[in-house]
Each structure stands twice: as structure tokens, then as C-alpha cells.
Chain A
Amino acid sequence: MNILNCADCEEKLSDYIERSLGESERGAVELHLHSCHSCNELVSGMIHVIAAGRDFPVYAPPAWLASRIVANTPPSPPSLRVRLAALWQSLGEPRTALAIFTAAIVMGWVGGGTVREAIFNRAESVVSCAYDHAIRSYYRSPVVIELHATIDQFMENS
């Protein structure tokens, strides 16, 4: 068993009080405490401190404190769905719609001819694409092909 001096013993006192030392260490601390009045007093003082901590008064916060905290804390942030719904709603408002319309006109005016031409060309190409697609779909649809075949057959027979 190790012989402890006061400094070594002091380091182990909390573990000794909380009974978390191993048997040999506990024995060494007890051996030292039997022979050292000062460390013995220190253990009593520490037990006193721990007990005082446990009995420390709990104070009631002022009644208005919780309300003040709640009042000064912002409400919880809205979910993405709610925010999107709000954005959609705001777009439908006359003031927002007017602002977007005005912004578009101003941008067109500021951008000058080049921007206008670019917008026009883009719109034209989109319309052409849509037209081509519609024509192709029409001629490729089975009903139309069958109708054409029937008409051709009638013409041959007649």
C-alpha cells in the first residue's frame, strides 16, 4: 500500500468521499487520514460543502420573467410551405403585380433594342417549336393515319 503525503491525499479526497476509489487507494487515503489531523479536517469541510450545495436555496424567478422572455423571443419561424404560400399570395396582390409589370417595362426600356430583340427572337423560336411539334403530332397520330388511308382507298375505288 502506498504511503500518501498531504498533497497526494488531497487530490483523492473527492473520489474518497464519493466512494469511487479502488480498495488499495481507499486504504491508503484512510491510513493517511488516521495520522493527519489537517487532512481529516479538510474531509469534514468538503463533506460540509457538498451538503451545503445540496441544501442550497432555490429562488423563484419574478412572476413576470417568463412572460417577458416569451414577449421578447420572436415567434417560431414559419415552415417552407407557409412561406411559399405567402409568396404566391403576395404575387397575386395588385401592388406586387403592378411592380413586376413596371419593372419589366423599365428593364425593356433601359435594355433598349437589343434586349427587346432578344426577347422577341426567343418568343418566336418558342412559338415555332410548339407549332412544329403540334404538326408532327397530328400527322403521326394513328387516327389521322387511318383516316388518310381510308380516303386514299376511296379515291382509288372511285
Chain B
Amino acid sequence: MVVRQHHHRVYNFAYRYNGRFDEAEDLAQEIFLKVYRTLHTYKPELGAFETWMMRVSRNCIIDHYRKLKTERRQTDSLEGEHEQVAETGNRFANPAEVLAQRELSERVHGALLRLSEDLREVLILRDLEGFAYEEIVEIVRVPIGTVKSRINRGRVEMAKMLRKEI
């Protein structure tokens, strides 16, 4: 039940973090195993299940990322033959707009993957996953001031990187 309900989000979170579909699949598997093993530590009075699960996911992804420690080429990271859900596509009815949006997303994701780990994770949680600052504090376990300053630095760096590319 938990798997069916949340695997979509966990899979996308993992993909956004490392930019590889194959790794996102393995990570999703690993994350749910960890969720299963640590389910008894979840306390509903301390916050929403989703926030807790995202914290487990984030820790799992970081552990995995640190184990690998190899630099990924962001060019091949955006390759894949996965079907894109119509969630965002519907708003761009024109094929040219769809293509432009896809290119923009790829450039943004490329810049995101070049950010440091600290900045990337909070930026994914805030701007891509839409979590509130308080929830990000719960997930990342750092003070709110640090979260805000990392998000700001991340956005500034991203904007600068994208400006250079144009």
C-alpha cells in the first residue's frame, strides 16, 4: 500500500537528485526497504508520514551518493526513454512549446546537478518538490536560517550558471 502510494514521488526525488533513471530505480527499492525496516521509529505526533519518508529517502540517497563518489557527466544523465507524465505537458499544447520546455528543464536539471550536495538537496525539496521551509528543516535536520541561506545561494548559483549558458 505504502509502496503503491509513494513510489512515484520517491522515484522522481531520486532521479532529480542524481539524474539517472537506472539509479533512481535501485534507490527507490533501497529507500522502501529502509522505510520498512525503520517504520517502527515513525511517530505520527512528530509530523506527517510523507515528511518522515522524505527524510529517510534523503538519507538513503546521500549515503548512496557518498558511496559512489564518482563524478557523473550530466550530459548522459538526462538521456532516457522514459515516458513523461502528462502533468506538466498539458500546459504546453503547442509541440514547439513542449520542446522548449523540455530543453529548459534539461538545462535547469544540468545546472542543478552541478550544485554542491548541500545546496542541491534543499533546492530540490523547495522548488521541485514544493516542501515548506519547516518541512525541509524536518527532513534535512538543520536550522531554518541555514535552510533559507542554502536555498538562496542555490538559486543565485543556478541563475548565474544558466545566464552563462545563454
Chain A interfacial positions (CB closer than 8 Å to B): 10-15, 41-42, 45-46, 48-50, 52-62, 65-66, 68-70, 72-74
Contacts and interface: CB of A to CB of B under 8 A. Distances in A.
B60 interface: no
B64 interface: no
B48 interface: no
A56 B109 contact: yes
Interface residues of B, number: 46
Contact of B84 (A10, A13, A59, A65): A59
B11 to A, nearest CB: 4
Nearest to B112: A53
B146 interface: no
Q: Provide the main secondary structure of the chain A interface.
A: helix
B148 A60 contact: no
B29 A69 contact: yes
Contact of B128 (A45, A53, A59, A73): A53
Contact of B108 (A15, A52, A60, A62): A52
A73 B84 contact: no
Interface in B110-153: 123, 126-128, 130, 148-149, 151-152
A107 B142 CA distance: 59
Q: Which 9 A-B pairs have the closest CB atoms?
A: A45-B159, A53-B127, A14-B152, A61-B11, A52-B108, A46-B155, A49-B158, A46-B159, A58-B85
Contacts of A14: 148, 151-152, 155
B71 interface: no
18 contacts: A10-B156, A14-B155, A46-B158, A46-B159, A48-B162, A49-B127, A54-B127, A55-B91, A55-B105, A56-B109, A57-B87, A57-B88, A60-B8, A61-B11, A61-B24, A70-B3, A70-B4, A73-B3
B59 interface: no
Nearest to B4: A66
Contacts of A55: 88, 91, 101, 104-105
B29 A72 contact: yes
Contact of B87 (A15, A48, A58): A58
Given A56-B108, A58-B87, A46 B156 contact: yes
Contacts of B148: 14-15
Interface in B65-101: 82-85, 87-89, 91, 101
Contacts of A46: 155-156, 158-159
A138 to B, nearest CB: 54
Given A61-B24, A73-B33, 8 more contacts: A13-B155, A14-B151, A56-B88, A57-B89, A58-B88, A60-B8, A72-B33, A73-B32
